[in-house]
Amino acid sequence: MKHEMRGFTAHTVHSVTNCAYSYAAFTALVVRCLITIAIFNDVRETGQSPIAEINFWDFFPFLLTPLIFGNKFPIMSSPEQTSRAINRALYKVLTPLVRVMVKLGMSYGTFAEIARAVFVEQAYSQLQADGDKTTASAVSALTGLSRKEVSRLTNSDDVLIVDTEQKRHRAAQVISGWSNDPQFSEAGRPKALAVSGEGASFPALVKRYGSDVTVTSMLSLLTRNGAVEIDGEQVILLTDAYMPMDTPLERLEILGTDANELISTIAHNISAHPSERVFQRKVSFSGLSDVDLEDFRRFSDAKSQSLLEAYDTWLADRVGQHTETYARGESHSVSVGIYFNSSHLIIDSDEGQSL
C-alpha cells in the first residue's frame, strides 16, 4: 500500500510544486479530508454527528491552510484565486484517496511520511528542470521542510518498488501479442502454445513481448490471475485482456498506477502549450433514472471495450512490425484509459465488501 500511495502522490506533488505549494499546505488538506470522512463514517454508523463534541479551535490551524505562492501558475490571475483553485482541486483529489486509506486502516503519519518523501523528490526534479542548484537548502525553501528533514529523506534507503507494476505491464503486452501476432494466433484467436521450445511456444511469446520477465514468472503470474491454464504440454489463454483485479494487492497496484497516469495527463495539460496538450475529454450528464444509469453503463462498457481492443490491435501490429523489420532505438510506453463514474459509486463502495 505504501509504495502505491507514493506512486499516486508523485504527480499530484509535481503539479503543486510547480505552483510553489508547501508541504504544510498539502498536509493540512489531508487532515481536513480525514476529519470530514471520519465524521461522515460516524454519522452513517451511529446516526448522530460528533461535530458538537469537536472543539473548533483545536482544528482551526488546519482549516486555515498556509500557502506560499509564486507567479508560476499560468491560468489564474492572482495568488488568492490560485490558492482557492489549488485547495479545491487537491481536496477533490485527496478525498477518494483518503477514503481508501481510512478503510484500510492506514494512519495519517504513514501518509505524511510518504508525502514528505515525494515532496523532496519532486522539488529536486523541479530545481533540476529549472537549472537551479539542487541543494538541501533550495529544497527546504521550496517545500517548507527543514534542511535536516530534507537530508534525512534524501538519504533514505526506502526505494520505490516497481517490480510488480512492471510485471503487470508486461503481462498485458504478452496477452496482447498472443491475441494479435500471427505467430501466436490464427484468424484472430490465440493459439494453444507449447509449454517449452521455439516457434509457437509460450517461451517464444514471453521472449518477444515480456521483455526481461522470466518465462516462469510470467506463467505463474498469468496462472494465478486466471488468465491462462496449463493443459498437459500446452498453455491456453482464457481471456482477451489482462485484468489484475482478483486480489486486494492487485487492486491497490491499479490505484497507484492508473490514478498516477490520469493525474500526469492533467498536470501536463495545465502548463503545456496548446499544441502540446494531449487528449483529455469526458462526457457528463445528470438527471438519469436508475434504469437509465444501468442501461448506459452496459452501453458504455461495450463501446469502451471495443475501442480499447482497437487501440490494442493497432499498437500490437505496430510493435510487431518494428520487431520484424529493425531493432528499435529509444523505446516509449503509452497508455489510453477509460473510466466510468457515477454518483452511486461512493455509496456502493461503502456498502460493498472491503478491500
235, 193 contact by CB (below 8 A) = yes
Q: Return the percent helix, strand and coil in the chain, to nearest 5.
A: 65, 5, 35
For 171-198, the pLDDT digits (tens) are 888 998 898 888 998 887 899 999 998 8
Q: Is residue 277, in this structure, part of any structural domain at all? A: no
Phi, psi at 230, each rounded to 5°: -100, 125
Indicate if 192 and 149 belong to the same structural domain. no
Q: How confident is the model at residue 106 (pLDDT cuts 50, 70, 90)?
A: confident
Indicate if 147 and 183 belong to the same structural domain. no
Calculate the CA 267 to chain-centre distance: 13
Indicate if 208 and 137 belong to the same structural domain. no
Q: Is residue 254, in this structure, part of any structural domain at all? A: no
What integer pLDDT is reported at residue 69 of this predicted model? Answer: 37
Domain range for 339 is 289-355
What letters, b where the CB count within 10 A reaches 16 and e where it falls short, cover 27-56?
bbbbbbbbbebeeeeeeeeeeeeeeeeeee
Indicate if 13 and 115 belong to the same structural domain. yes
Q: Is residue 117, in this structure, part of any structural domain at all? A: yes
Q: Is the pLDDT of residue 329 over 70?
A: no
Between 202-209 and 163-180, two packed helices, what is the crossing angle to 10 degrees?
Answer: 120
Indicate if 95 and 186 belong to the same structural domain. no
Percent of the chain at pLDDT > 70 equals 67
Indicate if 168 and 204 belong to the same structural domain. yes
What's the whole-model pTM score?
Answer: 0.57
Residue finishing a domain among 212, 237, 262: 237
Residue finishing a domain among 125, 154, 183: 154
96 or 60: which leads in pLDDT:
96
Q: Is residue 7, in this structure, part of any structural domain at all? A: yes
Q: Which three three-digit cell numbers place residue 214?
A: 522470466
Indicate if 171 and 149 belong to the same structural domain. no
Within 10 angstroms of residue 342's Cβ, the number of other Cβ atoms is 14
Indicate if 189 and 314 belong to the same structural domain. no
281, 33 contact by CB (below 8 A) = no
For 184-234, the pLDDT digits (tens) are 988 878 999 999 988 889 999 999 888 778 899 889 888 887 889 999 999
311, 336 contact by CB (below 8 A) = yes
Indicate if 144 and 66 belong to the same structural domain. yes
Calculate the CA 45 to chain-centre distance: 30
Q: Is the pLDDT of residue 124 over 60?
A: yes
CA distance 302 to 296: 10
- Least confident range from 7-11, 313-317, 330-334: namely 7-11
Q: List, in sequence order, the alpha helices (H) in 213-325.
A: 215-225, 248-271, 290-325
Indicate if 149 and 7 belong to the same structural domain. yes
Indicate if 189 and 297 belong to the same structural domain. no
- Domain CATH number, residue 224: 1.10.10
CA distance 59 to 38: 14
Calculate the CA 170 to chain-centre distance: 17
Q: Is residue 110, in this structure, part of any structural domain at all? A: yes
Q: Is residue 197, in this structure, part of any structural domain at all? A: yes
Residue finishing a domain among 112, 135, 154: 154
Q: Is residue 92, in this structure, part of any structural domain at all? A: yes
For 2-12, the pLDDT digits (tens) are 555 555 555 55
Indicate if 38 and 133 belong to the same structural domain. yes
Q: Structural domain tally of the chain?
A: 3
What integer pLDDT is reported at residue 14 of this predicted model? Answer: 56
Q: Is residue 256, in this structure, part of any structural domain at all? A: no
